[in-house]
Amino acid sequence: MHPVLSVIFFTVASGAGFGLFSLLFVADFFALGGGFSRAHLLVGGAIALALIVLGLLSSTLHLANPKNAWRAFSRFRTSWLSREGVFAVAFMPLALAYLACIAFDAPLWLRHASGFLSAALAWITVFSTGMIYACLKTIRQWNTPLVPANYLALGYASGSLLLLLGAVRAGLDATPYVALAGLIVAIAAVLKAIYYFWIRSPGLTPTVNTATGLTRAGVRLFDSGHTHGTFLTEEFGYQLARRRASVIKVLLFVVGFALPAVMLAAVLRGSGAEAAAAVAACAGLAGAVMERWLFFAEARHVVNLYHGAQRC
């Protein structure tokens, strides 16, 4: 697939925003590290909402006619894209209600109820975003439960690193935040490694033989039917050299997972904790961008089998 920058920004920013908001509620509910002050909770919530809103708005930029984006809400029963939009919209008033409860010192049960519901909707929204791709049987690299699992893990990993930065700047005990971020980043790294091994499984790769049903002998396409590129070949026929993909994967694991782990250890040591937390957050987001670019670039639509490709 041709990687679209607006969609990459959307999935990374909104995933980090939803992850940050959910984990901010967890930190508030359990008073991790002594608990954030009212002002810090409001600032953290505002940053999370800004990431979510900017991400959702950027998702319309790749549309040929962005003003028709509202139509995505009309197919809730059959479309994961529609469900994502509906859940994201439902999340907003609950998130604002939670922040209002914090600002105006509302009863604790109301604050916790609105926070829990908004955190649950945030989780469901990120899951729905992953399912938009996971439900597509025509792209083998996406048609797996590993896709929504990776979307959730990476979104919450980015959110946990941003939360850690906020905790360090607020002067809280960073130990529980380091433990939380370390656990989620480790889970994200393991899931991403499993995903990369899975998409390379040769037995699961569609070929011209399986596409045509002629499996007793080798099948070769003599004519692709087009002398020039089409929408299908340009949008779904993106070519990525395996060597280049391998280099980006190494960078992804070094920048997106290993570097944040090193910075988490530096935060625990105490010296330069704020700078280390900032590097960890930036590295986590940079790794998420690389992961998402590869996610699209490595996807191979089965239509390529009818335009000269021998396997997808």
Give the per-residue SS3 of 265-299.
HHHHHCCCHHHHHHHHHHHHHHHHHHHHHHHHHCC
The residue range of the domain holding 243 is 5-306
pLDDT number for residue 300: 83
227 confidence band (pLDDT: 50, 70, 90) = low
What percent of the chain is modeled with pLDDT above 70?
A: 91
66 confidence band (pLDDT: 50, 70, 90) = low
pLDDT number for residue 200: 83
Q: What phi-psi label fits residue 35: left (phi over 0), alpha (psi between -120 and 50 degrees) or beta?
A: left
**75: in domain:** yes
**156: in domain:** yes
pLDDT tens readout for residues 31-60: 998 999 999 999 999 999 999 999 998 888
**73: in domain:** yes
First to last CA, the chain: 12
pLDDT number for residue 286: 97
**312: in domain:** no
**136: in domain:** yes
pLDDT number for residue 50: 98
CA distance 155 to 150: 8
More confident residue, 310 or 263: 263
Window from 112-121, 195-204, 212-221, 257-266 with minimum mean pLDDT: 212-221
**155: in domain:** yes
pLDDT number for residue 24: 97
CA distance 146 to 150: 6
pLDDT number for residue 170: 95
What percent of the chain is modeled with pLDDT above 90?
A: 68
pLDDT number for residue 49: 98
Give residue for tokens 């280049």: 244
**158: in domain:** yes
Q: Pick from 183, 155, 179, 163: which is nearest to 35 by CA?
A: 163
**141: in domain:** yes
CA distance 48 to 67: 25
- Number of domains comprising the chain: 1
More confident residue, 162 or 137: 162
Window from 17-26, 68-77, 281-290 with minimum mean pLDDT: 68-77
- Cβ of 49: how many Cβ atoms within 10 Å? 19
CATH code assigned at 149: 1.20.1630.10
More confident residue, 199 or 24: 24
